[in-house]
């Protein structure tokens, strides 16, 4: 008798998480089906992806160029390397902004929505990360 009660209790306890997970899936599905949230997610992820790609390309190119200059001229001084890094960051920021502006003008001409602040910030973060890893 006790084994039967334990078995029935375990059966009902095991059924509870499945019904809760189904309710959570339905809640998530309802949230994503909301048009406002779908638009927000598409603008955000698209802006992050485009800004990240532009920043990664910019940072990698500048890091590679700086490494080539340091190796070619055999620069050993940390002060010269610091000044070269500061100049690269300044030039890289300007180059990244120009690339972001051209991407934004292309998106505007094609009437594609985007979040310009998020795109710029993603590009800056990606450029810094790839610059110092190059």
Using CA atoms, how far residue 119 sits from 47, 109, 124, 129, in Å, is: 5, 17, 9, 15
What are the pLDDT digits (tens) for 50-67? 999 999 999 999 999 999
Q: Tell me the percentage of the chain whose pLDDT exceeds 70.
A: 74
What's the pLDDT tens digit per position in 4-56?
Answer: 555 445 444 454 454 556 666 666 666 666 777 777 778 888 899 999 999 99
- Model pLDDT for residues 55-114, shown as the tens digit of each residue: 999 999 999 999 999 999 998 888 988 999 999 989 988 999 999 999 999 999 998 888
| pTM reported for the whole predicted model | 0.70
Boundaries of every domain in the chain: 1-33, 36-133
């Amino acid at each position: 008798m006790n084994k039967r009660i334990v078995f029935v209790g375990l059966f009902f306890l095991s059924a509870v998480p499945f019904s809760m997970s189904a309710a959570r899936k339905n809640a998530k599905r309802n949230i994503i089906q909301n048009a406002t949230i779908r638009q927000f997610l598409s603008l955000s992820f698209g802006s992050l992806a485009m800004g990240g790609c532009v920043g990664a390309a910019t940072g990698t190119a500048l890091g590679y160029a700086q490494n080539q200059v340091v190796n070619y001229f055999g620069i050993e001084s940390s002060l010269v390397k610091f000044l070269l890094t500061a100049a690269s960051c300044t030039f890289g920021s300007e180059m990244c902004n120009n690339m972001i502006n051209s991407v934004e003008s292309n998106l505007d001409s094609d009437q594609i929505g985007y979040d310009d602040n998020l795109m710029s910030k993603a590009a800056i973060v990606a450029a810094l990360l790839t610059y110092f890893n190059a």
